[in-house]
Amino acid sequence: MANEFIKTEQVGKVLLKQIKSSKADKPVYSDGPVEKELYEGFKSEPNYDAVISKRRNYSSWAQEYHLSPVRQNLLKWFPFDAEGSVLEVGAGCGALTGLLCSKLKKVTALEYSYQRARVIAQRHCSYSNLEVIVGGFQEYKEERLFDYITVIGVLEYAAGFYGGEKPFESFLKKVHTMLKPEGALILAIENKIGLKYIAGAPEEHTGRIFESIYNYPFSKIRTFSKQELAGLLEAAGFVSVQWYYPLPDYKRPKIVLSEEVTPSGTDSIWTLYPARTSGFGGKAALAERWFGMTLAQAGLFGEFANSFLVVARKTKAPEKLRCIRFWAANQGRKPEFRTNVRICVDDGKKSVVRSPDNDKSVQFIGEIAQRELLAEKFFKGKAEVVTGQPDGSSLRYSFIEFPSLEELIADAIEKEDTGFGKSLVEGYIRFLETLPIEECIPERFIQEFHLPSGEITQPVKCLACAVFDCVPHNIKVGPQNWYIIDNEWTFDYPLPIDYLAFRGILTLAANLQSHIKTHASKDQPVVLLRGYGKNREYIPLSWLEILQALKIPVNKFTRWETRFQNYVNIRQQTSRLRLSRKPKVLTRVEFCKVPTIWGPLHRLNRLLSNIAKLLTRRFR
Ligand SMILES: C[S@@+](CC[C@H](N)C(=O)[O-])C[C@H]1O[C@@H](n2cnc3c(N)ncnc32)[C@H](O)[C@@H]1O
């Protein structure tokens, strides 16, 4: 039972083979001219993906889908056995193939379309552990069994390849037979009742709104709900299934959560909603973020996640090492500062692992270890610094179960504390004041961030050590002690204490927007921080009073913060926070603009306002 090949090509170190009976010259799946462009691109420039992703925008969704480094976040964290083999079914243009080649001993990329297979071979031609096979999974014969089989964005097309009544089950049954007894299927697919579809985003494959929710009346493509997919996997013979939720979805994952984690209202995942969907410029029927939080509270987060990542096995053998959460490096940062963080459970014990995202950030991990030692000295007797133990090129930390100060403030807001947890915010500032302090002109800080020499002319109260990230988000509050996590940005020079208080309050405002907006009322007024970041953000009036009591004017902090952000990030910004002297006090905040008038009236309204706009432009 072996494949017969009609064509074999050597592309660099990669062998490209075409199965005889394949109809690969007539691909059923194509993104059009972009595939040729990719082939030519990689032929003339081996780092074509890196070159394109440096540009401000991708020219199309197809280009982004095939080239964006964000695609790899889906599996970057997965604890593959480095000695293992993988079959990548439907490898597309190789967006994940390179990652697999770097993590496993042997990679077989199977792709139905010859045009795409050529892109994979050209793109990854320097990997000697890769073979590319052109052909359909239905006709692929193989005696070898695999440690892993990946099916990323492919199962939904099975009805186009397999006949019979149960094409999806047949597809998965074949995967089952091709895996070693202890092997794993890794499958990613959209959830047919995912939050974004409920909000009105078009179905990803057909482009039609509500198509998956209405059970695909017009197409052969199928995606599934969690229950349906679980049923298919069981029918195919898989006995152990782990569910992960790539967020906001599997095509642009920034965070991956395992089903064991229920996100709270302060979880950083909410900043990822709404999920951007290609071709969706319309108005959402509801705000994904708010509805998502309500679903999570109701224990239904996974049922309505936008996509699933499933790890299914043939046996129930317990896994020694599991990863339950992965935060991918922020691609907006300069490459030398990009690190990936994951929470692992190893023999029942939780730990946090920070790893370099690329060769350039290996050094940064070493610097962080040094900075933690510096912080340990600085906080001595006042708080405990959580330091990492070197583990290969990574740092491994004990997991601190206590809530963060930010979470405690969120709780206080939820409990209708008048003042939005002001006393806790003040407690944070009092804590800063207990730390070693110097009265000085912070020359190094001024130099490092290229501030004008006259920026600070008189001595100011400074923390003896620049602990830029000692904000409520990074302080875990135990019954006896405070624990300081995350010392990426700790430097050996004085830092104005008021600036850190400002950073603390600003990050609180950014991270607790949902709480702040929900609880704005006559008794708890808020103020608009116009234009800070991309979105409108609000800050409780009670916190603003704390800011206004600081000695240095807020405008200066904003300038310093912009310099700091520009030091960390690729895209250089100019400062955008402008707080007017007399900010407008609000007692109610609109969450999102849901159209309230019914369809035709709404359209008429839009038409009239467009005409009005045109006329005013003409007569201006
Ligand atoms: C949505 S793309 C996903 C590509 C890739 N896995 C990725 O994530 O970038 C689906 C790919 O699977 C291929 N494909 C679909 N069904 C297949 C089958 N039965 N055998 C081989 N390839 C298949 C298509 O040609 C297409 O390139």
pLDDT digits (tens, 9 = 90+) for 536-560: 788 999 999 898 888 888 888 888 9
Name which of 361, 375, 242, 343 is nearest 302 in CA terms: 242
- In the reported structure, the alpha carbon of residue 30 is separated from the centroid of ligand 1 by a whole-number distance in angstroms of 10
Question: Is 219's pLDDT higher than 70?
Answer: yes
Residues 6+ apart with CB under 8 A from 65: 31, 71, 95, 251
C-beta separation of 472 from 412 below 8 A: no
Greatest mean pLDDT range, 35-39, 338-342, 551-555: 338-342
Identify which of 70, 154, 249 to mutate to test ligand 1's pocket (most ligand atoms within 8 A of the CB). 154
Higher pLDDT, 487 or 281: 487
Of 88, 97, 94, the closest CA to residue 35 belongs to: 94
Atom 14 (ligand 1) nearest CA = 90
Q: Which residues pair with 528 in a beta bridge?
A: 538
Give the pLDDT of residue 215. Answer: 94
Q: How many CB atoms lie within 10 A of CB 224?
A: 21
Q: For residue 336, is it left (φ>0), alpha (ψ between -120 and 50) or beta?
A: alpha
The number of the ligand 1 atom at minimal distance from the alpha carbon of 152 is 6
> Which residue type sits at 613?
K
Cβ neighbour number for residue 332 with a 10 Å cutoff = 11
Range with the poorest average pLDDT among 137-151, 242-256, 286-300, 588-602: 588-602
Token pair listed for 119:
């892109």
Tell me the CA–centroid distance for residue 317 and ligand 1, in Å.
Answer: 30
**What backbone phi and psi angles, to 5 degrees, belong to 548?**
-70, -20
Look at residues 286, 282, 204, 295 and name the one whose alpha carbon lies nearest to residue 250. Answer: 204
Atom of ligand 1 nearest to the CA of 151: 6
Q: Which protein residue has the closest C-alpha to ligand 1 atom 27? A: 92
Q: How far is the CA of 260 from the centre of ligand 1 (A)?
A: 30
- 333 C-alpha vs ligand 1 centroid, how far in Å? 31
CA of 89 to the centre of ligand 1 (A): 7
What's the token pair of residue 60? 């199309």
At 600, the pLDDT band (50, 70, 90 cuts) reads low
| Alpha carbon of 585 to ligand 1 centroid (Å) | 54
- Can you tell me whether residue 526 is helix, strand or coil? strand
Q: Which mutation among 29, 64, 205 tests ligand 1's pocket best, with the greatest number of atoms within 8 A of CB?
A: 29
Ligand 1 pocket, mutate which of 49, 124, 157 (most atoms under 8 A from CB): 157
- Ligand 1 centroid distance, CA of 28 (Å): 10
- Give the model's pLDDT for residue 473: 96
Atom of ligand 1 nearest to the CA of 138: 19
68 or 284, which is more confident?
68
Name the residue with higher pLDDT: 278 or 456.
456
- Give the per-residue pLDDT at 366: 97
Q: How far is the CA of 266 from the centre of ligand 1 (A)?
A: 37
**pLDDT on residue 441:** 94
CA angle 302, 308, 313 (to 5 degrees): 105
Q: Which of 88, 97, 112, 251 to mutate to test the pocket of ligand 1 (most atoms within 8 A of CB)?
A: 112
- pLDDT at site 405: 97
Interatomic CA distance for residues 133 and 5, integer angstroms:
9
* C-alpha of residue 102 to centroid of ligand 1, in Å: 21
Q: How far is the CA of 155 from the centre of ligand 1 (A)?
A: 8
Kindly report the protein residue whose alpha carbon is nearest to atom 26 of ligand 1.
92
Report d(CA 517, CA 515) in Å as an integer.
Answer: 6
Between residues 55 and 402, the one the model is more confident about:
402
Out of 26-30, 286-290, 471-475, pick the least confident. 26-30
pLDDT tens track for 130-156: 999 999 999 999 999 999 999 999 999
To which residue do tokens 């190789």 refer?
94
Q: What pLDDT was estimated at residue 432? A: 97
pLDDT at 584: 77
Would you tell me the crossing angle of helices 422-434 and 541-549 to the nearest 10 degrees? 30
User: Residue 158 Cα, ligand 1 centroid: separation in angstroms?
Assistant: 10
Position 596 pLDDT exceeds 80: no
- 567 pLDDT more than 90: yes
Predicted local distance difference test score (pLDDT) of residue 577: 66
- Confidence tier at 616 by pLDDT (50, 70, 90): low
Give the per-residue pLDDT at 618.
57
Q: Which atom of ligand 1 is nearest to the CA of 88?
A: 6
User: What per-residue confidence (pLDDT) applies to 530?
Assistant: 62
- The predicted-structure confidence for 445-483, as pLDDT tens digits, reads as follows 999 988 888 889 999 999 999 999 999 999 999 999 999
Phi, psi of 545 (to 5 degrees): -60, -35
Taking the model in full, what pTM does it have?
0.89
Residue 97 CA to ligand 1 center (angstroms) comes to 12
pLDDT of amino acid 578: 65
For atom 1 of ligand 1, which residue has the closest CA? 153
25-39, 455-469, 526-540, range with the lowest pLDDT: 526-540
Q: Which amino acid is at 271?
A: T
Q: What is the pLDDT of residue 620?
A: 47
How much of the chain exceeds pLDDT 90, in percent? Answer: 67
Mean pLDDT throughout 285-310? 92
Residues with CB under 6 Å of ligand 1 are: 29, 89-92, 95-96, 110-113, 116, 136-138, 152-154, 157, 161
Q: Which residues contact 336 (CB under 8 A, 6 or more apart)?
A: 360, 361, 363, 364
Ligand 1 centroid from CA 439, angstroms: 63
Atom of ligand 1 nearest to the CA of 150: 6
First to last CA, the chain: 77
More confident residue, 385 or 348: 385
What count of other Cβ atoms lies within 10 Å of the Cβ of residue 114? 19
Cβ pair 188, 309 in contact under 8 A: yes
The residue type at 390: P
pLDDT of residue 479: 95
Specify the range with the lowest mean pLDDT, choosing from 188-197, 289-298, 504-513, 544-553.
544-553
Give the closest residue (by CA) to ligand 1 atom 13.
Answer: 90
Q: Which protein residue has the closest C-alpha to ligand 1 atom 20?
A: 136
Q: Is 532 exposed, middle or buried (0-12, 13-18, 19+ CB in 10 A)?
A: buried
* Distance, CA of 509 to CA of 520 (rounded, Å): 13
Confidence of residue 125 (pLDDT cuts 50, 70, 90): very high
What atom of ligand 1 comes closest to residue 136's alpha carbon? 20
Give whichever of 361-370, 409-418, 454-463, 542-551 has the largest mean pLDDT. Answer: 361-370
Nearest atom in ligand 1 to 113's CA: 25
- Give the list of residues 6+ apart from residue 273 with CB closer than 8 angstroms, or none: 195, 248, 288, 289, 292
Q: Are strands 179-190 and 349-356 parallel, antiparallel or unpaired?
A: unpaired
Q: Which of 59-73, 172-186, 203-217, 410-424 has the lowest mean pLDDT?
A: 410-424
Q: What's the pLDDT score for residue 581? A: 65
Total residues found in the chain within this entry: 620
Query: Which residue carries 């990946």 as its tokens?
Result: 150
Q: How many CB atoms lie within 10 A of CB 395?
A: 22
> Measured in angstroms, how far is the CA atom of residue 92 from the centroid of ligand 1?
5
Over residues 413-418, mean pLDDT: 82
Task: For residue 191, give the 3-state DSSP assignment.
Answer: strand
Give, in degrees to the nearest 5, the angle at Cα 74 between 69 and 77.
Answer: 100
Q: What are phi and psi of 469, to 5 degrees?
A: -100, 20
pLDDT of residue 416: 77
